[in-house]
A and B are shown apart, each in its own frame.
Chain A
Amino acid sequence: SAVISQKPSRDICQRGTSLTIQCQVDSQVTMMFWYRQQPGQSLTLIATANQGSEATYESGFVIDKFPISRPNLTFSTLTVSNMSPEDSSIYLCSVEGTGVGTDTQYFGPGTRLTVL
């Protein structure tokens, strides 16, 4: 299994500002994933972050809007830039479980963002 923490747990931000979300894992992992969950909706993958390389973004998400850092094997940040009310969502960090035969995905507690 993996234990994941995120900061902040929630925030209320003004339109046009940026927020950086931190994700810390208790073990070294190759890939970290960032998901967005808009109100009442399912989860959508934003990007996959590998240590030492540029993040890979899914269709509809761009680096200028959601820059990601991955400085080491246990930590990543996601920045939501130039925010608008449409960015109000829960942002979740995720990793795959470690160990032989484990493909289970684990999620952090999420960051609940409200943009006014």
Chain B
Amino acid sequence: GIQVEQSPPDLILQEGANSTLRCNFSDSVNNLQWFHQNPWGQLINLFYIPSGTKQNGRLSATTVATERYSLLYISSSQTTDSGVYFCAFRVGGYNKLIFGAGTRLAVHP
């Protein structure tokens, strides 16, 4: 099956720092999305980004489907950015969403 790798697995930042999270996948995927799971477990959809670049405030995402990766940029990080960031996608015609292992981010004041 398709392989997905998220890096880094863990990240510790000081408030105000910038970071880049990466999602690599081994084959063509559909409907790539980025999610943030806060420390209380709530999963929030950040971006639906099958290709190209999108920005939302301090966050932006880029997917280069031909090179099989997606990046999530966090600028001027805040303590509320702490949690786990997942990339997820569909494969072929299936509705099943496949999740990466996640990047666990801790932002300290």
Residues of A within 8 A of B96 (CB): 45, 48, 58
> Do the beta carbons of A43 and B42 come within 8 Å of each other?
no
Proximity bits, A17-31, B CB within 8 Å = 1, else 0 = 000000000000001
A70 to chain B, nearest CB (A): 15
Most chain B CB inside 10 Å of its own CB: which residue of A37, A42, A45: A42
Residue from B31, B43, B99, B102 whose CB has the most chain A CB atoms within 10 Å:
B43
Q: Give the contacting residue for B41; candidates A48, A102, A106, A112; CB below 8 A.
A: A112
- Least distance between A58 CB and chain B CB atoms (Å): 7
Q: Knowing A42-B100, A42-B101, A92-B43 touch, does A104 contact B86 (C-beta < 8 A)?
A: no
Count how many chain A residues have C-beta atoms less than 8 Å from C-beta atoms of the other chain.
Answer: 23
> Are A106's CB and B95's CB within 8 A?
no
Collect the chain B residues with CB atoms within 8 Å of residue A42's CB: 86, 99-102
B64 contacts the other chain (Cβ, under 8 Å)? no
B residues within 8 A CB of A102? 48
CB distance from A61 to the nearest CB of B (A): 12
> Which B residues are within 8 Å of any A CB, using their own CB?
31, 33, 35, 41-45, 48, 86, 88, 95-97, 99-102
